[in-house]
Amino acid sequence: MKEKMKQIIKQHFLPYFIFLTLFLLISYLILILRMFNIEHYYMPDLTGKYFINVYNDLKKYNLNIEVRRIFIEEKPEGLILQQSILPGEFIKPKDRLVLIVNSYEPILTMPKLTNLLLDNAEEILSSIPYEGNIYNIPITKILYIKKDDVPENTVLYQFPAPETKIKLNERVILIVSTQKRYSL
């Protein structure tokens, strides 16, 4: 009986056991080879190239890329002006690369928000059209002042002033009316 059981086990389970053992062995070898086979790269020279053309190539290096934008009118938009890692330096995954890219930053006109309700002012700032694009300027700070002679949540004052030329990162401060009395 025992001999018959051994023969059944050998016939049915031995191929599965061999397959499972080989699979685990090969998986372990692949894991070990990948851990110790870190590819070595050298930083290419990116200055003078277009960011859109080199971005996908940079992804293979697995770098932490930070893009800073400045605008130089004489240079084409999207051109890489500087890089933080010098060309030819050894790089490894997760190194930080800062690229200075020539990028046009629109100069918008601050809309008139005074005498509007706060909700309407927020809506206007969230959709400022300029050259076929829609821009959003967040409100940095809202200050409330008790004022009984105007409806609640009416914009009394704004900074920057209406019709002022502003950049996208401009701080917008609104002074808004309230009916409530605040005590400190």
Q: What angle do CA 98, 100, 104 make, to 5 degrees?
A: 140
User: pLDDT exceeding 90 applies to what percent of the chain?
Assistant: 43
pLDDT at 183 over 60: no
Give me the DSSP letters along the chain: -HHHHHHHHHHHTHHHHHHHHHHHHHHHHHHHHHHH----EE----TTSBHHHHHHHHHTTT-EEEEEEE--TTSPTTBEEEESSPTT-EE-TT-EEEEEEE-----EEPPP-TTSBHHHHHHHHT-EEETTEEE-----EEEEEE-TTS-TTBEEEEESPTT-EE-TT---EEEEEESSPP--
Give residue-wise pLDDT tens across range 151-163: 999 999 999 999 9
What CATH number did the domain enclosing 115 receive? Answer: 3.30.10.20
- Mean pLDDT for the stretch of residues 88-96: 88
Give residue-wise pLDDT tens across range 17-44: 888 899 999 988 887 777 665 667 889 9
For residue 26, being part of any structural domain is answered with: no
pLDDT at 4 over 80: no
pLDDT of residue 184: 47
pLDDT at 6 over 80: no
For residue 15, being part of any structural domain is answered with: no
| 174 plus 118 within the same structural domain | yes
Lowest mean pLDDT among 27-31, 33-37, 109-113, 119-123: 33-37
Looking only at the bridges linking them, the beta strands covering 155-159 and 173-178 are antiparallel
Host domain of residue 127: 108-178
pLDDT at 78 over 50: yes
For residue 93, being part of any structural domain is answered with: yes
